[in-house]
Structure 1
């Protein structure tokens, strides 16, 4: 049988007192720091976590000890939670403990009957709801009189309201201690990252009354804008208040001078000046931007608490950089204070958090940023609207490869189905488009050109706003914040580049993608998916002509039309990257993706090719596969139809020669997709070497190139040693590697993956965060075997996981040379790689006996 916890001593918080965050919680430690700064903090006591556990188990402090906590001139105290981490929350604060009939009589003489009644009434209501656990509806009427509230309490409990301050305090402590251990509270804090056995401390503090004559009231003040991070005094001051009790003459006044009304700065300039001085001191001593809670009693200032200012992503970056610039924290600590994912918010428009939101439905936040536009239901409608200069949101059940042009023309994408690795999500992240997928509350009627959501109907042409950061779909046009690619953003990433060791490249298929990648600091292109280039209206006919050709020579004729287009594509990419590496993946998807599947589309194709409709239908059916993702695609196409890869290799080499003649230092990297056997690499390599020799002879130019493979099959990872004999690099394509390792379709798994995660089958969606136990082990095996065979081989990751901070940490630990991700995730990857490098460096320093322990944050 477990023994009840042993209570620990209750400590008065003083400069030299033994108060620490683990034992007494963050609030107690913060108050001690404020006291050490000689700020006017009311007398406060820290109840350690062990004592709180004992109280929850029924072992209360003695009556004398309880009376010691409330033996002050006012006779009133407040009780606040003090968990180890402020993010973990805690039970609500209870104010004015000790309020009874005798105290009421005393305050009536000094403050007046109305103020004393308000204090007493507010405390009884709070006690009834939060301590006695009575029906809140009976104690929530602000118009109720003190007598009515006391009578209601007695009617419900058959007892008079307790008059002993020590008994009141004991019951408040017991209630808060037990509330912390309740199942709902436990689940809530675990969702915030707290351990299951997280402990709670409590703080008992003398009340500074915000009622009385002169300038009197309570408020908060901070010195930074929570949304933008710019220096600005904000907060509130409410005169003549005390917690929930508000007198008739209570009024909100501005902190600083304002033409709209009175301000604390004008009414009490000395108090205001002290608050500003305390704010500066708190920033320097606590090494953080703090919000200060204060009370003014007849012009006398009391500091009740200080908490870390809540902040948006853009404010977090600006605050961290400003603290480092001012020498308050080092740059390495500034890097560690910003969540990598927060950088995504700075790259896009965001819905202003201060503005109202008309929510109609939710989905998965697949690509960050926000966009407002008119609803359209087809790619053609999106293109037509873009041609008219209109902003549109493309709404689809799920997107297909042929929707890419419509996505390019849209401000955002919303789909009813799909998951984090669905077509819409992957392409939208690459384009930097806000995207929400899996919005199951959405019903789309393409015939009627309308959608239903939130019990409302939205027709084509009506405005909606999608927030790809939160996954919320809003009616109408929401107020937006501009992207924040300012000096603070640039400085933070410069520091990140100095700290990290692993490279960061971008997945870029178009010149626009490449320019974006360069703008965001990518060190080259780690994946260029060439098939996206063939969906263009000017290229699709030649592509389809090639597909319908029966003989290699006929296919070559069609491919000759595509050759100059591909050459121009690659030349442009080489020019933009200007000496940075460009990894070009050879053609990958199954051919059926380039063919129409509806009767009307097939009829139009038959007309364009001058073929009988029956021939087109037959060809489409012949290319249909039961499982096309595991069928005739990737290297399998390159071996059975080698003229495709030969055309692409020629285009790459001719582009390299052209760009090299212009002064760019180009060493193209050619990547073979979907490899599973060494012989596949040998066959493709032999043909590419032949093309390279031919281009060198024709152009009389020397050029170098590197050949590698994309490891997407488990067999390729296991046989990486064999494969490494014939290539210069391996790049793990973790989208397909995850799909094949799990036997899951990344497009269809979203229908049930949430249930799997909720029931603990998978810890996370493996398409969102890299599965380190399964897929990660294959990567480790592949990297080890490849390097054993070819020590100089480059090993990288180019799947969507390359932009995920947790996955980047694994890649750093695994010793990968670089990761490649969507252009708009490059800043996230740069910061995540830097943070992981700093963590590893500190751990290594600590092991070597050199310290390296990070400075604890305020």
Structure 2
């Protein structure tokens, strides 16, 4: 049996699917005894029937609506369509809608050429009554027939003074607009008015973002809310406003918002202060409502209300939209107030709550303008949530940082080490790239070694600063992983410049032309000497092994200096091996030899590790050979982006840990990180996740969320098993 109409006083919060979110929310307020304008909802079932079986709606459905309106007439003592004391209605969709339609509320439904005069006598203000009728015509034309507001406004004229004659003229013009657009005349029958409004609102699709408010949703109609019109615009002790149970910008506890009194009730007081002064009992009710609703929903509440002749009515109550700062403060305060557990608060944190503040801090830190007047660390509330997250999570959160400033940002945001530091990022800055290219283009091995000697202190200096920032925490340093082709100058660009110099189109001299010729010839010779260098997967270290040696030397020289300064240094050197393990074995032997030469007796204070980064599917398939020479494995998320990538990665981890059960395994994320990645990492038994510095704070929370969600799923499975057994 179809449930077509539900009175608000008979509805419940659990009937959201039937009544819509707004209607169910008002029904909950009614059940709690709070003042709500009497009304009812046309249910989703009825609206679906409206569009799929209209004959049923105009029969039984129409009768149900008429009976519901009759209940409102009994409640108010007024009659819908009565010439002397007309009952007027407010009609709107009962679900949250796309922004284009969400603000539409059809007010004063029930006004026509006759009832407008009765309404005017009721309020003793004919200009106001006529203007309400004019607005109804405009909104009805827009909602029911899709006529743009601008068309009506063209006929409006200057009626700011609410002159009766001009208003009467505007009403006549608006009626003409509706007919000129090919629609039937505006209904003088109030029942037909109501049917038109119901039909229009039930067509608005709440499940899709539609720009046209007349879009038909045949699969499931939008429920419609109909209430007795409450007037807060005109008369003594009247007004309307919106309040928040806590400040939506800061999260500070207390009643905040705005209040607009009617012209007759206006005073010099501002916003809610006037309401507190003139209607202390009503203000007290609002305060009580906001506290109770917040306690029930465990969310900051936004409450719309109207005061009519000194009586308070609640129009709508919903969870408020908060700034990230307010959202974080509210979560922590709710825990301290006993409304939420720490785990519940953590599960509510969204990326936007954390990223904005973290990104602002990271930008300030990078531009070196952090001072006492600016935020130099995460907010107090975020720090509290991060402490709770650290108590829960079981995955270490590292950061990708190839610059000392990034390491400082990561450490301040709680990174437990560096998961990826690229030596090429340290050496390929605009100021250092010419030195690298000059070294690569060197004619002799002696010249190349001289070039490497110039680069070594640059790299060592960066590493010393990173070790200092990460005192006691691991620093994973990936050796140069670029191809020769990526470092050599663009030959075509060089040849174009040479031609320009020869033609005299560019300032220069014979010396620069000769130097350019030499560079071009050297690039071609390198390609001839190392034809494999242009092949995919061939790295610079394969062509010039001494480059690896320079990087390793810089690492251990930086480590030695840091140790002698009293720091605890934990370098973890990672090699992107593309062979079956022999390349990693060769480089590991080189690392051990260089460590012995440079560290000497201090080697016992430098517990370094050597690992491999697994980025492509081929490496993932040969991980069993690679792991023999690795202390840890770092997987790149490139694998996850492949079809079947999750299964491939899972297989690689299983194969690796079959050979080394306690092998350290982690995931290196270079793009934006999300809860899905942390959930996957938790399921795979990863030891760590490494992410961009500014994402460290959120990653710590997401790691806790992943574990909490896994526990919840385990409990659900156990409960299902118990119920099945029972």
TM category (shorter chain) comes to: 0.7 to 0.9
Count of matched residue pairs: 678
Partner of 2:146: 133
Paired with 2:531 and 2:366, the residues of 1 have a C-alpha distance of 26
Paired with 2:188 and 2:470, the residues of 1 have a C-alpha distance of 77
Return closer, same or farther for 1:291/1:730 CA change in 2, 3 Å cut-off: same
Partner of 2:413: 520
User: Which of 181, 188, 192 pairs up with 1:163?
Assistant: 188
Work out whether residues 260 and 271 of structure 2, in 8 Å CA contact, stay in contact via their aligned partners in 1.
no
Partner of 1:213: 235
SS at match of 2:539: helix
Partner of 2:48: 53
**Could you tell me how far 1:132 is from its partner in structure 2?**
3.5
Partner of 1:642: 545
**Could you tell me how far 1:197 is from its partner in structure 2?**
6.3
Return closer, same or farther for 1:780/1:629 CA change in 2, 3 Å cut-off: farther
Return closer, same or farther for 1:486/1:628 CA change in 2, 3 Å cut-off: farther
Partner of 1:203: 225
Map 1:581-600 → 2, pairs under 5 A: 581-591=474-484
Paired with 2:467 and 2:67, the residues of 1 have a C-alpha distance of 76
Partner of 1:320: 331
**Could you tell me how far 1:206 is from its partner in structure 2?**
1.9
Partner of 2:82: none
User: Which of 130, 134, 149 pairs up with 2:171?
Assistant: 149
Paired with 2:426 and 2:518, the residues of 1 have a C-alpha distance of 26
Partner of 1:531: 424
Paired with 2:551 and 2:146, the residues of 1 have a C-alpha distance of 74
SS at match of 2:338: coil
**Could you tell me how far 1:189 is from its partner in structure 2?**
14
User: Which of 380, 389, 402 pairs up with 1:487?
Assistant: 380
SS at match of 2:472: coil
Work out whether residues 314 and 345 of structure 1, in 8 Å CA contact, stay in contact via their aligned partners in 2.
no
Return closer, same or farther for 1:409/1:222 CA change in 2, 3 Å cut-off: closer
Paired with 1:813 and 1:700, the residues of 2 have a C-alpha distance of 37
**Could you tell me how far 1:349 is from its partner in structure 2?**
4.4
Could you list the runs of 5+ residues in structure 1 that have no partner in the other structure? 1-5, 241-246, 258-262, 351-367, 372-406, 412-431, 433-479, 739-769, 853-858
Return closer, same or farther for 1:150/1:85 CA change in 2, 3 Å cut-off: closer
Look at both structures and tell me which one has the larger radius of gyration over its CA atoms.
Answer: 2
User: Which of 197, 210, 214 pairs up with 1:185?
Assistant: 210
Work out whether residues 94 and 224 of structure 2, in 8 Å CA contact, stay in contact via their aligned partners in 1.
yes
SS at match of 1:32: helix
**Could you tell me how far 1:527 is from its partner in structure 2?**
0.3
Paired with 2:545 and 2:573, the residues of 1 have a C-alpha distance of 15
Pair 1:124 & 2:137 matched: yes
Partner of 2:163: none
With structure 1 as the length reference, what TM-score do the two structures score? 0.70
1:604-644, Cα deviation, whole Å (9 max, x unpaired): 9999999954322322445579x999947987322332222
Partner of 1:705: 608
Partner of 2:110: 98
Return closer, same or farther for 1:523/1:634 CA change in 2, 3 Å cut-off: farther
Pair 1:226 & 2:226 matched: no
Of residues 660-669 and 172-181 in structure 1, the stretch that sits farther from structure 2 once superposed is: 660-669
Partner of 2:711: 841
Map 1:372-451 → 2, pairs under 5 A: none
Paired with 1:508 and 1:87, the residues of 2 have a C-alpha distance of 41
Work out whether residues 5 and 68 of structure 2, in 8 Å CA contact, stay in contact via their aligned partners in 1.
no
Paired with 2:115 and 2:532, the residues of 1 have a C-alpha distance of 77
More helix by share: 2
Of residues 809-818 and 138-147 in structure 1, the stretch that sits farther from structure 2 once superposed is: 138-147
Map 1:668-687 → 2, pairs under 5 A: 668-673=571-576, 675-687=578-590
Work out whether residues 803 and 826 of structure 1, in 8 Å CA contact, stay in contact via their aligned partners in 2.
no
**Could you tell me how far 1:727 is from its partner in structure 2?**
0.8
Return closer, same or farther for 1:35/1:624 CA change in 2, 3 Å cut-off: farther
Pair 1:809 & 2:712 matched: no
**Could you tell me how far 1:19 is from its partner in structure 2?**
4.2
Return closer, same or farther for 1:561/1:314 CA change in 2, 3 Å cut-off: same
Return closer, same or farther for 1:160/1:493 CA change in 2, 3 Å cut-off: same
Pair 1:256 & 2:278 matched: no
**Could you tell me how far 1:715 is from its partner in structure 2?**
0.7
Return closer, same or farther for 1:608/1:647 CA change in 2, 3 Å cut-off: farther
1:366-406, Cα deviation, whole Å (9 max, x unpaired): xx97x9xxxxxxxxxxxxxxxxxxxxxxxxxxxxxxxxxxx
Paired with 1:483 and 1:168, the residues of 2 have a C-alpha distance of 60
**Could you tell me how far 1:573 is from its partner in structure 2?**
2.0
1:758-815, Cα deviation, whole Å (9 max, x unpaired): xxxxxxxxxxxx6374444443333233223332222222232463444333333333
Paired with 2:214 and 2:545, the residues of 1 have a C-alpha distance of 58
Pair 1:280 & 2:291 matched: yes
Partner of 1:555: 448
Work out whether residues 93 and 202 of structure 2, in 8 Å CA contact, stay in contact via their aligned partners in 1.
no
Paired with 1:774 and 1:215, the residues of 2 have a C-alpha distance of 67
Paired with 1:348 and 1:309, the residues of 2 have a C-alpha distance of 24
Return closer, same or farther for 1:29/1:15 CA change in 2, 3 Å cut-off: same
Pair 1:36 & 2:47 matched: no
User: Which of 789, 793, 809 pairs up with 2:659?
Assistant: 789
Paired with 2:284 and 2:623, the residues of 1 have a C-alpha distance of 68
Work out whether residues 802 and 829 of structure 1, in 8 Å CA contact, stay in contact via their aligned partners in 2.
no
Paired with 2:551 and 2:203, the residues of 1 have a C-alpha distance of 69
Paired with 1:26 and 1:270, the residues of 2 have a C-alpha distance of 29
1:142-180, Cα deviation, whole Å (9 max, x unpaired): 536245425642644675532333332222111112232
Work out whether residues 26 and 85 of structure 1, in 8 Å CA contact, stay in contact via their aligned partners in 2.
no
1:569-625, Cα deviation, whole Å (9 max, x unpaired): 333322221111110000122356556656699999999999954322322445579
Paired with 1:541 and 1:212, the residues of 2 have a C-alpha distance of 76
Work out whether residues 83 and 89 of structure 1, in 8 Å CA contact, stay in contact via their aligned partners in 2.
no
With structure 2 as the length reference, what TM-score do the two structures score? 0.81
More strand by share: 1
Partner of 1:396: none
Work out whether residues 236 and 253 of structure 1, in 8 Å CA contact, stay in contact via their aligned partners in 2.
no
Could you list the runs of 5+ residues in structure 2 that have no partner in the other structure? 79-86, 160-165, 502-506
**Could you tell me how far 1:850 is from its partner in structure 2?**
8.3
**Could you tell me how far 1:563 is from its partner in structure 2?**
3.4
SS at match of 1:347: helix
Paired with 1:12 and 1:605, the residues of 2 have a C-alpha distance of 88
Partner of 1:345: 356
**Could you tell me how far 1:830 is from its partner in structure 2?**
1.7
SS at match of 2:340: coil
**Could you tell me how far 1:487 is from its partner in structure 2?**
0.8
**Could you tell me how far 1:847 is from its partner in structure 2?**
0.6
Return closer, same or farther for 1:146/1:318 CA change in 2, 3 Å cut-off: farther
Paired with 1:277 and 1:851, the residues of 2 have a C-alpha distance of 44
Work out whether residues 596 and 603 of structure 2, in 8 Å CA contact, stay in contact via their aligned partners in 1.
no
SS at match of 1:668: strand
Paired with 1:850 and 1:251, the residues of 2 have a C-alpha distance of 62
1:533-566, Cα deviation, whole Å (9 max, x unpaired): 2246885565345323355555344333433443
The Cα RMSD (Å) is 4.3
User: Which of 505, 522, 546 pairs up with 1:619?
Assistant: 522
